Structure 1
Amino acid sequence: MNSPSISAVILAGGQSRRMGQDKAILCWDGVPLLRRVYDVAADCVDSVYLLTPWGDRYREILPESCRVLPESQPGNGPLVALLQVLEPIAEEWVWLLGCDLPQLEARVIQTWIDRLPDLPESVLACVPKSEKGWEPLCGFYRKQSSLKLAEFAARGGRSFQQWLTEIPTEAIAVEGDIAAMLHNCNRPEDL
């Protein structure tokens, strides 16, 4: 099986309003959430980027090998952030990650990555899906999805839930341990 061409992009551009403070720097078992996500991403792929309007804020948390991309339209949400990164990244797939997923497991993610080469070229995204809906901030997006995403955004679309139903998307079943792995931290009680 061919290894897919993939880069990870971690998003750290939200306002963390529900948390009341920057969740990327909050610790889970003594390690900042952002660093936990970075470490899993670096275990799975060669290229890891951070998209944020505050690159200097996270420099001491991340190794120098993590490339920081300045967010060009902060505050417009993760769908617009994905649109920004699809263009400059050369790899076929972008693995989009929230900075608040402390329980990611490289072993599980690697099984998802191993599926990518077997997907038909028409499939533009491979994203976990639970009963509640898509889990887009641990999803894989083909570079060629940028045209469909740009069209959707131009119509005023900002919802991953809607966009992923409009494009050919492979669903990764989310149940049991996988649901726990995708737990994200939005409020203090989530920690």
Structure 2
Amino acid sequence: MAEPVLRGLVLAGGRSERMQTDKGALQYHGLDQRQHTAALLGEFCPDVRVSVRPEQAADLPAGLTPLPDTFLGLGPLGGLLSAFQADPNAAWLVLACDLPFLTRTTLEFLVTNRQSARAATALRSPVDDFPEPLVTIWEPRSYGQLLRFLSMGYSCPRKALINSDIALLPAPVSAELRNVNTPEERAQAERELMG
């Protein structure tokens, strides 16, 4: 059986309440994080979409393809389900837009070690050893499972990964999975990335 095509999904539909400004619009690498993350994904995926709330779609920088949420109010799960609704036969390589330390090397490791027969291929979080759902390849077979979890009242993608048949890989460089959510974390990240 042929491996499902791998599409890219930048998760940028959050409200960024702790950051107090849109995390996707922040710049750490000369581009805003939506553009930077889409460019990373573009090295591995023929098609990259940016998951946004419907009212954010018009504000995306030129060259990015919005994928407005059709499952509203579910956070990252809503973006993922909306992607599967757009193409249920694709696998989706999902990246949150608030991972400024993530590099091509880590993505290449994830894609190279993809196990398409499983529901997903995820990296182990350095914080708690659980799967990191926002740096994961979700295979087409996970779509039905995610809908089933949602029907039971679970909207946490991590819970879905923990309770599914997945490949869980050690992160090559665990520091790359650090997300930046507050102004203090942003200032620290900027110092580190410029240093």
For the criterion TM > 0.5, the same-fold answer is: yes
Structure 2: state its 5+ residue gaps.
187-195
Q: Distance in 1 between matches of 2:145 and 2:133?
A: 16
Structure 2 residue 137 is matched with structure 1 residue 146: no
Which one has a larger percent strand, Structure 1 or Structure 2? 1
Deviations 1:13-62 (A, max 9, x none): 111000001111111143212111111111222110111121111134xx
Does the C-alpha gap of structure 1 residues 90 and 146 become closer, same or farther in structure 2, counting only changes over 3 Å?
A: closer
Note the alpha carbon deviations across 1:102-137, whole angstroms, 9 max, x for none. Answer: 122123312221222xx362x101111125122111
What residue ranges of structure 1 are gaps of 5+ in the alignment? none
TM-score (norm 1): 0.86
Partner SS for 2:74: coil
Matched-pair contact (CA < 8 Å) for 1:13–1:75: no
Identity of aligned residues (%): 24
Partner of 1:13: 13
Q: 1:10, 1:98 within 8 Å by CA — same for their partners in 2?
A: yes
1:54-80 Cα distance to aligned partner (Å, 9 max, x none): 1111134xx2xx321111233321123
Residue of structure 2 in register with 1:167 after alignment = 164
Q: Relative to structure 1, is the Cα distance of residues 44 and 13 closer, same or farther in structure 2, using a 3 angstrom cutoff?
A: same
Change (3 A) 1:136 1:25: same
Per-residue CA distance 1:74-96 (angstroms, 9 max, x = gap): 33211232122113225531111
Q: Which has the higher contact order (CA 8 A, sep 6+)?
A: 1
CA contact (8 A) 1:11 1:50 kept: yes
- 1:115 maps to which of 113, 136, 141: 113
Check the 8 A contact 2:133/2:157 in 1, yes or no: yes
**Structure 2-normalised TM-score?**
0.84
* d(CA) in 2 for partners of 1:96, 1:170: 15
CA distance in 2, matches of 1:36, 1:103: 11
1:187/1:110 Cα in 2 relative to 1: closer, same or farther (>3 Å)? Answer: same
Report the equivalent of 1:89. 87
> What letter is aligned with 2:159?
Q
Indicate the RMSD between aligned Cα atoms, in angstroms: 1.9
Change beyond 3 A, Cα 1:72–1:3: closer
Q: Is the 8 A contact 1:7 1:89 kept in 2?
A: no
One-letter code of the match for 1:56? Answer: A
User: 1:45-60 residue pairs with structure 2 within 5 A?
Assistant: 45-53=45-53, 54-60=56-62
Paired residues, number = 181
